[in-house]
Structure 1
Amino acid sequence: MDYEEKTINEKASYIKGLAEGMGLGDTPEAKIIKALIDLVDDMSVVISDLEDEVDMIEANIEDMDEDMYEMGEQLDAVDEDLGELEDFIYDLDDGFSEYDDSDDDFADSYDITCPSCGEEFSVDEETLLDGSVNCPKCNELLTFDFDEDDEADGED
């Protein structure tokens, strides 16, 4: 195996072996060289661990990228389905537009003026037939008394 193809740990071990084979002795220079070789050996272990962590992180990122792509596909499908549903609902709504109920909107609405505060407001027929309603401004209870003849006259 060529030196260039070796891992950083293998290169550090190779340098350490060369230094041991040289028989450096105990001179101050030899001590510095041995300390530097030990430092390179320690650094190679740390770098190797970091490379392993980077590989693991890259694999996780690839997995997340695939998951995000799948979620994007699902989101597009949901968006498409929602668009179809909206079109369906709007098509149903168009079918009812032929019936114009604007004349009926206020047909059963009655205007009332509060005798206490003068507030004018509207109520529907059902509220009116209940016999009482509170004024929305002063909360005065307004009561309505109907004779059966009055109700019959109103239905004509």
Structure 2
Amino acid sequence: MKNILQRIAYVQGLADGLGLEESSKEGQILLELVDVVAELAEVVDEKFEDMESYVDVVEEDLAELEDYVYEDDDFDDYDDFDLDDFDFFETYPETAEEMFEDIEVSEDEAE
């Protein structure tokens, strides 16, 4: 943004050095255009600075929120995670008879 402001100042200097007269129609148009561009650049620069400060505030709030959300989570604990500790990969009985063959039923319960 500073580069644009410097270039506009350069164009203003060129316009002043040309000796454009405000009495001519061309001179009026060129000088007015240079002034409008300079004002526009100043407004954009102010808005850009406002946006930068807003982004800084949002980043700070996000950092606080991340600290709050993730403060109890210790992701290093997951390094010791092992699927072998779980029985996901055991074979399961394919039929109902195989599933219940290890269950003992007394005669009273069978009737």
Q: Residue 45 in 1 paired to residue 25 in 2?
A: yes
Distance 1:8 1:107, change over 3 A: same
Q: Which has the higher contact order (CA 8 A, sep 6+)?
A: 2
Alignment of 1:7-86 (within 5 A): 8-10=21-23, 44-86=24-66
* TM-score, normalised by the number of residues in structure 1: 0.40
Give RMSD over aligned pairs.
Answer: 3.6
Q: Which has the larger radius of gyration?
A: 1
Q: Which runs of 5+ in 2 are unaligned?
A: 1-19, 104-111
Runs of 4+ in structure 1 deviating by more than 3 angstroms, as ranges, are 101-106
Residue 81 of structure 2, aligned match among 77, 98, 102? 102
Which TM-score applies when normalising by structure 2?
A: 0.54
Identity rate, percent: 30
Number of matched pairs: 82
Aligned to 1:145: 95
- Alignment-mate amino acid for residue 66 of structure 2: E
Stretches of structure 1 lacking an aligned partner (at least 5 in a row): 1-6, 11-43, 113-127, 130-143
User: In 2 relative to 1, CA 90–9 (structure 1 residues): closer, same or farther, beyond 3 Å?
Assistant: closer
More strand by share: 1
Instruction: Tell me the distance in 2 between the aligned counterparts of 1:66 and 1:108.
Output: 63
> In 2 relative to 1, CA 66–146 (structure 1 residues): closer, same or farther, beyond 3 Å?
farther
Partner of 1:38: none
CA shift for structure 1 position 9: 3.3
